Structure 1
Amino acid sequence: MARRVKSLLRRWSSRVFSVELDEAPLSFGIQAAQRGGRPPGFFAELGEQDRCYSLLVSGRDAARRAQFSAQLREQLLRELPPGCDLAAMSSHLPDAEDSLIKGYFIKGNTENSSRIEGLLKDIEQQESVLVCSYTGEDGQQWTQHLWSREQSKKMEMMVKFYVVPSESSICHPSSLNTANYDVFHSFEEAYDVLKKNVDVSPEARSVLEMFPSTVKAGRKPDFPVIAIEGLDATGKTTLTESLRDTLGATLLRSPPQCLSRWRAHFDQQPALIRRAFYALGNYVTEEQIGQEGMKTPVIVDRFWHSTAAYAIATAVSGPACNLPQEGSEVYRWPGDLLQPSLVVLLTLNPQERERRLRNRGQKITDEEQELDHNQFFRLRVEEAYRRISGPPCVVVDASPSADLVLQQVLLLIRAKCHL
């Protein structure tokens, strides 16, 4: 086995396992000794005919791990027999940093178990994948069997563990390491992720050809830089164009137009790779700000706040209280990225935003569709916006008329930017 897998197995029985069901991680633990009592969580609802399996993806290289995890999900959706349920899952050591590994949980039954196990045996040969099966005993006790691959490539079962209840972690499992949020705090971090993807992605190669391998901090613009943030249909386009005309400013957008040809491709990539693309887009926009900000004020339609807020909200499930605490490093502004003079966050109640989206009739991204269907996700995005520091957002209610919103934002700009 790979070194990474061996290190994970040393404390295997101490790990907490979480299955993402209905926007909430349902956790369980394992132990070597049997004990009585009701099975934990969803295991109590399973019957003797049910069979469950888990796959956890290991590996030190985050970019390759993300790519393989996405491919694995597609393979499972394509090849699992009918009647199977697939959910995201993770495993971690309680409150131990850099211990989180992610994967998938499969629920099947005795009729399709042989087909599932045949598929999992093939998958286990591909990468550092830890495969477990779960079976019920006496209608009460559930056991976990960790599969082992010997040098002969023959699959065997290791010593079984008994599934037991687990105490809830102090924080969401993703909070154990800021790297789990796919947030980049420097140009080099984002660049390196796409660089590791160029062998399988011509699009990644094309994007990187636009950049040097490092960036240097540019001169601070002579004029103020105002970033306008918010969910789709909150009035960003109307406001930014009005500010441009009123202030005689330059209007820029992130991601910039020069990256638009690749946006559809990266929107379909794993979260880590998608976020790296958008993070690099901020550095293109920064260069444009440096040029235009010497001549006029600059209005930016979305910037780093959007890139980070969506990444953080995607990494966590459930209510907004599962987000990293305020002051966490994950909310820190990148040290090598220009900070705007002012960041305005437009907010709107869900009903009005949905009405505006319908009236626009435009195609929206998968993430924007998720905002409409998943209240928890929308609230996490909005709260993540508010927690980002350096600079923080100034919240403006976008429900009044466009003229009233414009006047309110102009007052903010004149007070904070002296325009």
Structure 2
Amino acid sequence: MARRTMAVLPQWSSRIFSVEQEGAPLYFAIQEKHRGAEVPQVFRKVLQHDKCYSLLVCSSDRVRKAKFYWELKDKLLKDLPPECDLSPMSSFLPNVKDSLIKGYFLKDSCESSSSTERLLRRLTQHDPVLVCSYLRGEDGRLWTQHLWSDAECPTMETSKNYYVVPSEAPEYHPSTLNIINSDVFYSFQEAYEVLKKCGDIIPEATSVLELLPSRVEARRKPDFPVIVIEGLDATGKTTLTESLRDTLGAALLRSPPQCLSPWRAHFDQEPPLIRRAFYALGNYITAEQIGQEGMKTPVIVDRFWHSTAAYAIATAVSGPVCNLPAEGSEMYRWPSDLLQPSLVVILTLDPEERKRRLRDRGQEKTVEEHKLDHNQLFRLRVEEAYRRISGPACVTVDASPPADQVLQQVLLLIRGKCHL
């Protein structure tokens, strides 16, 4: 068996498998002996001639694994027959951190699956992919999972067979197992290590690393208050932050910082692990700037760590708000080595009014802004993740009144909290 799979195989039969269909995860498990269980939901609509496969990306090099998984979908959509249906899937050990392995579930409706199996065999020869096929029993109900052995075997024999059985949904959404220092970074060093490993494959990563401050500078406490303004696009952040700058005689900073602008478009196309590390390090650059400006004057910051974390958590976890990490989870804690602001204000706005303002702007939207517009569940997850972040927590302000009224309300908060 290939070395890359050895780490997962000893606990293979203890793993749960999740397949995303129509925005909701469907779960199944495997067992070595047949105990007469019903058919898992993911297989109930599979037709008699359909063939099913799973591909799980396994590698100890998490940067390579992230890059390969990110590019695998396009490769499969390009090379597979059009009759094939692809769904995101994962495999995990319940309640075991960092046990999540991502991949794809494939339903092949071709009368002959030979071309599909040739492609899967090629993938397993050189790439970090673990392939399973799923076969229906003669009674039409019982399904078995066949774990492929190394693809250099021309007969494509399998190493072991398991019976497929339904599984209850886990206590927590499986994506939460891998959020810490993968989707959200909680220290300078963890984010730094990811970009450092990218140096050989992403030249832009080296340029970003050259801009980074020391960890001491990123948490230096300034003499003057630091006020962060958060909120979704078109809630009035720019108007408010500029008004606060003028009213308080403050410095105005933005996160991600301007110095990262030349590379943002590139990193927005990278896998989440690399993209999130890039934006996490942007917060530390902003923190250094806050420390310098905050020695002379109050500082207003347009977005900071709350945005980075809230969007990442809401993207990693699918489905309704109840799938988010529980309130009080360590995933909402502020990084211990990142400067904490004196006050964080989040502007909220009715969704329809926010859409109207976006239309009036006529600006291009980010991928995440498109998701906010078309996916109500994603918007609700982002808003709830904002609310749950602590250290410091956000103070909510209604942004629907005229801009001068919003300004006065925020000034009252600042004078009460920061004594300005």
Query: What is the CA distance between 1:216 and its match in structure 2?
Result: 4.2
Note closer, same or farther for the CA distance 1:217–1:240 as it changes in structure 2 (3 Å cut). Answer: closer
Number of the residue aligned with 2:223: 222
Note closer, same or farther for the CA distance 1:180–1:8 as it changes in structure 2 (3 Å cut). Answer: farther
Number of the residue aligned with 1:101: 101
Runs of 4+ in 1 over 4 A off after TM superposition: 150-154, 212-218
Note closer, same or farther for the CA distance 1:6–1:264 as it changes in structure 2 (3 Å cut). Answer: same
Note closer, same or farther for the CA distance 1:184–1:112 as it changes in structure 2 (3 Å cut). Answer: farther
User: Once structures 1 and 2 are overlaid, which stretch shifts more, 207-216 or 169-178?
Assistant: 207-216
Query: What is the CA distance between 1:159 and its match in structure 2?
Result: 2.7
Note closer, same or farther for the CA distance 1:152–1:106 as it changes in structure 2 (3 Å cut). Answer: closer
CA RMSD of superposed structures (Å): 1.8
Determine the C-alpha separation between the residues in 1 that align with 2:295 and 2:141. 71
Determine the C-alpha separation between the residues in 2 that align with 1:320 and 1:232. 20
Determine the C-alpha separation between the residues in 2 that align with 1:212 and 1:409. 31
Matched ranges for 1:1-400 at <5 A: 1-36=1-36, 38-111=38-111, 113-137=113-137, 138-149=139-150, 155-179=156-180, 182-211=183-212, 215-217=216-218, 219-400=220-401
* C-alpha contact (below 8 Å) 2:124/2:151 kept by paired residues: no
Tell me the amino acid that sits aligned with residue 22 of structure 2. Answer: D
Determine the C-alpha separation between the residues in 1 that align with 2:181 and 2:41. 25
Query: What is the CA distance between 1:154 and its match in structure 2?
Result: 6.1
Q: Which runs of 5+ in 1 are unaligned?
A: none
Tell me the amino acid that sits aligned with residue 223 of structure 1. Answer: F
Query: What is the CA distance between 1:34 and its match in structure 2?
Result: 2.9
User: Once structures 1 and 2 are overlaid, which stretch shifts more, 6-15 or 368-377?
Assistant: 6-15
Query: What is the CA distance between 1:96 and its match in structure 2?
Result: 2.5
Give the TM-score of the pair, scaled to structure 2.
0.95
Tell me the amino acid that sits aligned with residue 186 of structure 2. Answer: H
Note closer, same or farther for the CA distance 1:290–1:78 as it changes in structure 2 (3 Å cut). Answer: same
User: Matched residue of 1:48: which SS?
Assistant: coil
Tell me the amino acid that sits aligned with residue 164 of structure 2. Answer: V
Tell me the amino acid that sits aligned with residue 24 of structure 1. Answer: A
Note closer, same or farther for the CA distance 1:295–1:63 as it changes in structure 2 (3 Å cut). Answer: same
User: Matched residue of 2:309: which SS?
Assistant: helix
Deviation string 1:267-309 (CA, Å, 9 cap, x unpaired) is 1110111001101111111111111111111110000111111
User: Once structures 1 and 2 are overlaid, which stretch shifts more, 213-222 or 42-51?
Assistant: 213-222
* C-alpha contact (below 8 Å) 1:81/1:112 kept by paired residues: no
Query: What is the CA distance between 1:61 and its match in structure 2?
Result: 2.7
Determine the C-alpha separation between the residues in 1 that align with 2:116 and 2:82. 10
Query: What is the CA distance between 1:176 and its match in structure 2?
Result: 2.9
Note closer, same or farther for the CA distance 1:401–1:81 as it changes in structure 2 (3 Å cut). Answer: same
Query: What is the CA distance between 1:214 and its match in structure 2?
Result: 5.2
The number of aligned residues is 419
Tell me the amino acid that sits aligned with residue 278 of structure 1. Answer: Y
Note closer, same or farther for the CA distance 1:110–1:84 as it changes in structure 2 (3 Å cut). Answer: closer
Determine the C-alpha separation between the residues in 2 that align with 1:418 and 1:220. 17
